[in-house]
Chains A and B, each alone.
Chain A
Amino acid sequence: MMEGPLLKINDLRTYFYSRSKQAFIRSVDGVRLEVRKGETLGIVGESGSGKSVTALSVMGLVTGGPGVITGSIEFMTNSDRKNLLDGLQDFVEITQENGRIMSVKKDVIGWERRSEEIMQGIRGGEISMIFQNPKAALNPFMTVGGQITEAIMLHTGIKDRKEAEERAVYWLKRVKIDSPRLRFGNYPYGLSGGMCQRAMIAMALASEPDLLIADEPTTGLDATIQSKIVDLLLELKHELGTTTMLISHDISIISRLSDSVAVMYGGTVVETGPAKDILSSSTSSKHPYTAALLASIPDDYHIREKIPLQAIEGDVLDTINIPPGCRFYGRCNRVTEKIRKRCESEEPDLREIAVGRNVRCWLYYE
């Protein structure tokens, strides 16, 4: 089923200008990713590593205010191929002095207009998104069915309201909401969090997108519901074969759903590869961050023996003053004397160490 890439993100940089600090907050800083058709790419990383901002950049939702995006996001469907960031850079003017950014001028209206132009028909149609915290992501004053119907009428050929409503009921049934006809007329407050998320998934899938972005779809739900939602996503994945970009900090969810995984740290991708390789328990040929992340998951052994979990020392990277060397250098426990100098002063590239495996670490540069 795996074919060529559907989405190819190259050197994506999404910065937010902070006026008070006179600097850019580099939320996403040089992300390179590929989502192949039919596969599920899981993106893991701790809070603030730029996962969500990457997703929002793809959706073209980083528009208002001080957001600046560079790089390219190529979106390739069977019929079409376009760069979702085409021409957006022309609307930003950055003045630099001694390497410090002095001012940023952004033609917000022009930027938004261009972004709208590019995303027309893609946003919600070819790429749709599931949000975290489903209760807040549904309009509280519109019935669940009404919202799904609206999405269907907007993005599919169905223009007849009755027919679209039938289709919405079908999708509600598809995501395993019981008595879908009754739920159709309910308002979000009348549904549980899990049901709201099912409704969100129905809404996202109703437009039959080429790419589904699930931004922490299980956050804000309790554990049993989480696992049910994951079951549902897994089932839908097998039935529909939708290409999915799954974002989560929960490695167990990623490991259940993903075909391949990208690990993010401090705004960049530090490792990509097939899920089974990256999430396996062996620590060999892995980025130290991935290894540390995996070591911080409790397993039977840790729980039985009451061994404290291994936390990653230090704090998340300050995305304003990014040090010159490796982003993980300050927290890394596998720096050898041989490479210390390079780790400190030079940033490694994302380098292919095996087929389909890329790691951004000096350890694997021999």
Chain B
Amino acid sequence: MNSYTQITGEIGEFSDLPFWKKVGIADLLYVAYGGLIVTLVIASYILGALNLLKWDPQAIDLELMMAPPGTAGHILGTDFMGRDILSRLIVGIQAYFLPGILAVSISLFTGSILGVLAGYRGGRWETAITYFTNLVDSFPRLVLILLVIAAFKPDIYYIMIVVGLTNVPVVTSLIKGKIQFLRQKNFVEAAEALGLPARTIILKHILWYNCRSLLIIQATLGMAEAILMETSLSYLGFGVQEPAPSWGNMVQAGANYFMQGKFWPSTAPALAILFTILGFHLLGDGLNNMLEGRRGR
């Protein structure tokens, strides 16, 4: 049997539909979940930064080592030094929050500028920028990070600057490709014929209206990648150093006890990593579909 979708109302009524009917329920759920995660992360960051936590994340309690979740007010239990895991999780956000934003800003800002130059100006600019991005791309990121750590010190900001810079080629080539595609469309020429200044055409018509969804996805993906980079380096001992908490070094510290059946010190941060990264990815995906999906091309 055929299933028909009922079409109600007159032509044009589509624009009067409530917001949630226009964007699709799946995207809405994605964005809702992602938004929740981002809100939680930001709220926790503020909580931690303002020192509003019940337990001091650094306070060692030798009486209560490896206490399971729920013991004596420690909601997620304590780790091998008796420190509150929830507090450490919340403070651990500081390890990637600002550095991640820094990395994303670097890659988006530099990538947009280079992408616009390469795509809009073309010619020699494009050749030079393509060579540059290929050069950056061909260098293994981890080696670069280890080099920087060896040359300076294992500081998360240095690492994130490298992460941001090594992400530049991705953003550049995306923006460049998009602009080259858009330039074939007459509307850029039409906008020029309308007498709009080049700045308006590039910033408003091209970057804002046509590349914003792309930039938003890149921002969320970049953030997810920054978190992943931070946690994995901290896990390996190159990132945030003990006793400062980071999700990565928490997993690492708890991993020794995992096989003894004491799963909570490493499981809690591991799940936090999983759900946070999932949140950022879904947020990017959902926003992309919302912004781009219904517009047609």
Q: Could you give, for residues 179-223 of chain B, a 1 whenever the CB lies within 8 Å of some chain A CB and a 0 otherwise?
A: 000000111011111111000000001000110000000000000
Can you give 17 A-B contacts (C-beta < 8 A)?
A61-B189, A119-B195, A122-B195, A124-B195, A131-B186, A131-B190, A133-B186, A138-B190, A139-B205, A139-B210, A140-B210, A140-B295, A142-B205, A151-B194, A154-B195, A182-B12, A186-B15
Min distance, Cβ B120 to any Cβ of chain A, angstroms: 10
Total residues of chain B contacting the partner, CB 8 A: 21
Chain B minimum-CB-distance residue to A123: B195
Establish whether residues A154 and B187, one from each chain, have CB atoms under 8 Å apart when the complex forms: no
Q: A131 touches which one: B123, B193, B209 (CB < 8 A)?
A: B193
B13–chain A nearest beta-carbon distance, Å:
9
Bound-state Cα–Cα, A140 to B209, Å: 9
Max chain A CB contacts within 10 Å: which of B12, B190, B196, B210?
B190
When distances are taken between beta carbons in the complex, the residues of chain B under 8 Å from A125 are 195
| The residue from A59, A136, A155 contacting B187, defined by CB atoms under 8 A apart | A136
Alpha-carbon separation in the docked complex, A123 to B210 (Å): 24
> In the bound complex, what is the Cα–Cα distance between A154 and B201 (angstroms)?
13
Is B70 an interface residue, CB under 8 A from the partner?
no
Question: Given A137-B190, A142-B205: A121 and B195 within 8 A (CB)?
Answer: yes
Judged by a CB distance under 8 angstroms, whether B297 is at the interface is yes
Q: Does B296 contact A (CB under 8 A)?
A: yes
**A91 at interface by CB-CB < 8 Å:** no
* Cα separation A131 to B193 with both chains bound (whole Å): 9
> CA–CA, A140 to B196, complex, Å?
17
Let me know if A128 is at the binding interface, CB within 8 A: yes
Using C-beta atoms within 8 Å of the partner chain, give the interface range for chain A. 35 or more
Cβ contact within 8 Å between A141 and B209:
yes
Tell me the dominant secondary structure on chain A's binding face.
loop
* Across-interface contacts of A154 in B (CB, < 8 A): 194-196
Instruction: Write out the residue numbers on chain B whose beta carbons fall within 8 Å of the beta carbon of A131.
Output: 186, 189-190, 193
Give Cα A150 to B186, complex, Å.
17
Binding site for B on A (CB under 8 A): 59, 61, 64-65, 119-125, 128-129, 131-133, 136-142, 150-151, 154-155, 179, 182, 185-187, 189-190, 200, 203
Find chain A residues with CB under 8 A from B192 CB: 61, 123
Say whether, besides A142-B205, A187-B295, A124 and B193 are in contact (CB < 8 Å): yes
> Which residues of chain A are near B209, meaning CB under 8 Å?
139, 141-142
Q: A142-B205, A179-B12, A182-B12 are in contact. Are A59 and B193 (CB under 8 A)?
A: yes
In B142-183, the 8 Å CB interface with A consists of none
* Minimum CB distance partner of A126 in chain B: B195
Bound together, the chains give a CA A137 to CA B188 distance in angstroms of: 7
Closest chain B residue, CB of each to CB of A108: B123
Q: Are the C-beta atoms of A61 and B205 separated by less than 8 Å? A: no
- Contact of A187 with B296 at beta-carbon distance under 8 Å, contacts A59-B193, A138-B190 already known: yes
Contact A136 B186 (CB under 8 A): yes
- For the complex with contacts A59-B193, A137-B186, 8 further pairs of A-B residues with Cβ separation under 8 Å are A121-B195, A123-B194, A128-B193, A132-B186, A137-B190, A154-B196, A189-B296, A189-B297
Chain B residues, Cβ within 8 Å of A128: 193-195
For B190, list chain A residues within 8 Å (CB). Answer: 129, 131, 137-138, 200
Asked if A140 and B187 sit within 8 Å, CB to CB, the answer is yes
- Chain B: minimal CB distance from A247 (Å): 13
- Bound complex: CA of A131 vs CA of B194, how far in Å? 11
Does A141 lie within 8 Å of B186, measured CB to CB?
Answer: no
Within 8 Å CB of B186, what residues of A? 131-133, 136-137
Known: A179-B12, A187-B295, A189-B295. A138 touches B194 (CB 8 A): no
Residues of A within 8 Å of B196, CB to CB, are 124, 150, 154
Asked if B185 and A136 make an inter-chain contact with CB atoms under 8 angstroms apart, the answer reads yes
Q: Which residue of A lies closest to B13 (CB)?
A: A182
> What residues of A have a CB within 8 angstroms of the CB of B297 in the complex?
140, 189
Instruction: Give the CA-CA distance A139 to B122 in the complex, in Å.
Output: 21
Once bound together, how far apart are the Cα atoms of A189 and B14, in whole Å?
Answer: 13
- Interface members, chain B 1-44 (any A CB < 8 Å): 12, 15
Point out the residues of chain B lying under 8 angstroms from A120, CB to CB.
Answer: 195
Lowest 3 CB-CB distances: which A-B pairs, in order? A124-B195, A189-B296, A141-B209
